[in-house]
Amino acid sequence: MKKYILIALIACYTTVSGQVKNTGISLIPIPVELIKNTGTFILPKNVTISVGPSPELVQMTNLLKERIATTTGSSVLIIPRSPSATIHLQLNRKTDSILGDEGYRLEVTTRNITIKANQPAGLFYGVQTLLQLFPKEIEGDVEADHVKWEIPCLEIVDYPRFEWRGLMFDVARHFFTKEDVKSYIDNMVRYKYNLLHLHLADDEGWRIEIKSLPRLTEVGSWSVKKVGYFGKFSPPAADEIRDYGGFFTQNDIKEIVEYAKVRFVNILPEIDVPGHSLAAIASYPELSCTPEAVNYKVRSGEQIMDWSHGAPPIGLVDNALCPANEKVYEFIDKVVTEVAALFPFGYIHMGGDEAAHNFWSKNPQIKDLMQKEGLKTMEEVQNYFTKRVQLIVASKGKKFIGWDEIMEGGGLPVEAAVMSWRGVSNGVKAAQLGHEVVMAPSDFAYIDLMQGDVSIEPKNYASVLLSKSYQFDPLPAGVDPALIKGGQANLWTEQVYNMRQAEYMTWPRAFAVSEALWSQPKNRNWNDFFGRVEKQFERFDVAEIKYAPSAYDPIINVSRKDTQLVVSLTSEVEGLDLYYSFDNSYPDRFYPKYTAPLIVPKDAGLLKIVSYRGKNPIGRQMTILVTDLQSRAKK
């Protein structure tokens, strides 16, 4: 062992690669610069971590200590600054202008590891990179004594492209516990996300304690449990028990906020108004424009909106707060007062999306408001509401942000920030009007949507493949870069019932979005990225985090040629072979291999497909009814 270390020490001074790609080092997101040197650092049995006295650094170092000690078998001691330490975490005495507040420099030699940064956040992200450099067994929760704990010698310079790097977690449609949220935070920081957007209120539940409005959680947090396809459930009977759901107490929120702070994550709270407010209206019916609201219940997944005519939807019940009712603004003031006190982050998200206007349009109070304020359309009525809510948020010392519908109706105050979800174009429009913009376009970054073929994925209204998410660029041409704060991926949970499914939907598409938000465009390449994704899959297997293997499954396109049904197969991933059968048996690599579009045999009932890499099956066995293929051809 001593001889090996001596050889590596001598060799470590020779640079063999100045390229970020093709180094054999798999990091997500890919850093700005990476130089791989010859030689290897081998973790000793007694590890010392040198760190300054800052409380932020101590907490961070304890996290690193726990990860190393749990799996490597090494003893780990945290010490004051010492040149002989194994790992050095150093704040720069003189600011490194390249790094900013979140960048870092990481150097690995045969002797030790050094991470330098201007701010504690930069050291934290350097630590996340360091952990990815260790063998995958570092992700486990038991000692792996068979592993050689080594890291290649290298130098990394790294910093983020955008300051806003977010994931949205919808805890309203289905409730997720405090421990679930902490787990989500733990996973997202691995990939340098720094913002968790919590969607805390919707038709299906109110998830945050508001002490001045106790019925919001007494009534608004509970529904009838349903399992199946959300949006198609039968309406609950009057005698069905409403015990499904839950909420966060204010102490829970404080605990989550502190947990996130230690990991350099801000939390953006969202209270979605005026639409998506059935849980609030069921709790306080006087907030509605509709007298029948006294009979409303929290939604359990039954249909309450008609989208057949496009947007805005037609409400089958009135799930929108009444802009003409002064009690609504008193309600919002109480909610925002308590929310602002709980969340240190400078923004509060107030929704603004998908509000149905059909109940407003026939309400006498709304008509009186329109006459009084000179409003001509329902969009202008909603804009009136938005402006008043923006003033309430501003009065609490916070900045208002909402979905891009808040721009409709004209005259949105320039102080309001816009989160663009209906494509990138609305974000461009908002930036051109001088608004701060966060890009979260559904066609790239909605990770609740299907990520593979509908025959095998949880059914939803659209798809976003991993390769599509990887094409996301938050900074379009023709806008002031200073106004594009960054972006995020959004996990809506109508079809997500538990934490394992939340993980499945998040990963690996959140890998792609993290790279769009952190890494430089010049360093990004799909084939290189997917190779690194596969290494992360290995780490997730050790950590027992669920992920979707959907990228290995074929993409199926169906057409007609005269009376024949034609099936074409493609793949997101290079180097895969696809095998198929029409005879109801299960194909393997000894079956026909797909080489050209398939003509579906006249009397066939099933198409089965499986993906292989060489001799090993890598995709899932897919079974598609021929009747399904026929319906796809019609579309």
Catalytic residue chosen out of the listed positions 204, 354, 405, 457: 354
In sequence order, which residues have a C-beta less than 8 Å from that of residue 537 and are 6 or more positions away? 508, 547, 549
**Closest C-alpha among 463, 623, 456 to residue 549:** 456
User: Within a 10 A sphere around the Cβ of 355, how many other Cβ atoms?
Assistant: 28
Q: Which amino acid is at 143?
A: E
User: Within a 10 A sphere around the Cβ of 370, how many other Cβ atoms?
Assistant: 20
Cα dihedral sign, 338-342-348-354: negative
Q: 163 an active-site residue?
A: no
323: which 2 tokens? 């802009």
| DSSP letter for each residue of 461-495 | S-B--HHHHTT--S--TTS-GGGEEEEEEEE--TT
Exposure string of 455-482, with b = 16+ CB inside 10 Å and e = fewer, is bbbbebeebbbbbbbbebebbeeebeee
- Location of structure tokens 């379009």: 476
- Location of structure tokens 């970054």: 445
398: which 2 tokens? 């916070």
3: which 2 tokens? 């001889």
CA distance 448 to 497: 12
Residue 28 to residues 192, 325, 528, Cα–Cα distance (Å): 9, 50, 11
In sequence order, which residues have a C-beta less than 8 Å from that of residue 260 and are 6 or more positions away? 185, 196, 266, 267
Prior bond to 214 cis, omega within 30? no
User: Within a 10 A sphere around the Cβ of 229, how many other Cβ atoms?
Assistant: 13
- Secondary structure percentages of the chain, helix, strand, coil, to 5: 35, 25, 45
Any idea which residues carry the catalytic annotation?
Answer: 354
